[in-house]
A = this chain, B = another copy of it.
Amino acid sequence: MNLQPIFPRFSPELIKHLVEIGQVVKFEEGDMLMRPGQYFKNSLLILEGQVKLYRDGDNGEEFFLYYLEKGNACALSMICAAKNEASVIKATAITRVMALAIPIQHMDELMKNHVQWYYFVLETYRKRFNELLEVIDQVAFHSMDEKLEFYLKRQFESLGNRIMITHQQIADDLNSSREVISRLLKKMEARKRIVISRNEITRVTI
């Protein structure tokens, strides 16, 4: 697999080096890449597919945080790997996923010898940090209908204008209940923002 188009900012030497020290791993749809309490031995670079990240509540609730896609790295796996800390979030593959696993013992050396790697790590943190802040915005300042709109917007952006999902799954992701989501979706449909079918929501793009 050619990594250059996936990580356009990396120099050919860096890519060559990454391929040498890393190992390509494969996950099937539904596999859990990361579970709370787990320790990392590797930092993961996503080459293909999509990974959904959740925060787990104490009583089994879940809350959707964001997606990782081709060209992203898992910020947490980099931080926690470097510090040998346990994960506090859950990640599952929602498609088939190919990733490059970089053993943690190479992190220091990469950081030291490759400026682009260092920039990549910083940029990864910054993006995820901002993403978390946006999530906090939503839950702190907005009502359910606004959260739902924001949620769907992000789903459409990551997964395309037609997403296959049940109302129950949305309710779980937003830590709400199915009936509420159904009600609000109906209203959004009435306002011509979406079209609802069984297992499927389509964005109305005018």
Contact = CB atoms under 8 A, between A and B. Distances in A.
B79 A129 contact: yes
Main secondary structure of the interface of A (DSSP, over half): helix
Contacts of A126: 79-80, 83, 85
Given A80-B126, A82-B122, A118-B111, A57 B133 contact: no
Interface residues of A, number: 38
A141 B61 contact: yes
Contact of A125 (B118, B119, B125, B135): B125
A103 to B, nearest CB: 17
Interface of A: 55, 57-59, 61, 63, 65, 75-76, 79-80, 82-83, 85, 88-89, 108, 111-112, 115, 118-119, 122-123, 125-126, 128-130, 132-133, 135-137, 139-141, 175
